[in-house]
Amino acid sequence: MFKGVRIFLIIDEREVNMKPRLIIAILALLLVAPVIANPNGPPWKNGSDLVIDTGCTCHGDGAPSTEVVVSISGVPRSYSIGEIYEFTITLQHASNEEGGYLLWDYNAGTLTPGEGSQTVPDEPGALSQSEPGNNWVITWTAPDEDIGSVSFQLVGNAVNGNGQFDGGDLWNILSFSISPPDSTYEDDEENLQLRTISVGDYDSLFVAEEDPAALEAARQEEIADNFFTNGNIFYWTTLSIIIIGAVVQGEFYERRFGGGPPHLDMSLAVPQGFRRSILSVITILIFAWSIDSSQSWGFVLLTGMLMLWAIFGVYRTVVQARAPKEYTDLV
């Protein structure tokens, strides 16, 4: 027993040198393992969560993307007991041409893999790809009895092909169900094959390469539009300021050097003031509406200037009515 202990404690020099290398190799494998892709089928679990429920969160920054269109065709509106249906699963993305999928009916029926597909080792009732692709044909056998609606979960992951889990891999989730027997009308054979359920944005699949000359022309047009718009704003705003300044200056010179505004008799001032007051109220309401309804700057500026002009008219009427009478000797 004593010798055994001694032998266990005596370590060969080569073993001492090998241990650090072995530890480094194990650590390297542990670090590399999370970034190795799964071309021959996704894992059934991601930590404590099921991938079929949460999606491929190790890919695409952990969130589903509408850029990936996941679709399945041949799905009936309602199933017939024991009937066998052929499903076609399709995965589409503008640049990521291949990927994988995961499909489960929560063991309500029987999913049978076709070419390029396989049963999931950890859940034989589910299917996944056996090799990267974008189109898989599988079969589903409906339950042997009426169990109500059958729910399905389909996860599709379009990868960029670099063999790693990164933001370039994009995925999406499609949830759908098949109604129980005789609960809705059934499609004929032709319409059944054409019936497709999908999730994702089809417009994102069409990425057109734009001509550099067209891009430059669009940029120059945008610059020209900005110059035109800003030029109009500065021009009309400056003109409005000049007009207001001229009116204020005219009032100043009239009071300073012209003896003030001429007198307006009350018989004329009252009806004139009434008309101008109504006009002022109308222009104020139009100006307020133009701001509240977010009209163009030109319309707002125009209504604002009209409002100021109408208010100035009321002011002039009041000032002239209050001005002292001046009798002019005509002899």
- Residue 81's H or E segment, with its range, is none
**What integer best gives the mean pLDDT of the chain?**
83
b or e along 66-85 (b: 16 or more beta carbons within 10 Å of the residue's beta carbon)?
ebbbbbbbbbbebbeeeeeb
- 120 secondary structure, DSSP code: E
Closest alpha carbon to 114 in 135, 83, 92: 135
Q: Average pLDDT for residues 93-114, to the nearest whole number?
A: 92
Model pLDDT for residues 163-206, shown as the tens digit of each residue: 776 777 888 999 999 999 999 888 888 888 888 999 988 887 76
- 61 secondary structure, DSSP code: G
Model pLDDT for residues 276-316, shown as the tens digit of each residue: 999 999 999 999 999 999 998 889 999 999 999 999 999 98
Question: Token pair of 158, please?
Answer: 């379009």
Domain residue spans of the chain: 45-205, 212-322
Chain CA centroid to CA 36, Å: 30
CA gyration radius, the chain: 40
pTM: 0.51
Q: Average pLDDT for residues 229-240, to the nearest whole number?
A: 89
Q: How far is CA 53 from CA 121, 178, 304, in A?
A: 17, 18, 59
Which CATH code is given to the segment(s) 45-205?
A: 2.60.40.4060
Model pLDDT for residues 119-157, shown as the tens digit of each residue: 999 999 999 999 899 999 999 999 999 999 999 999 998
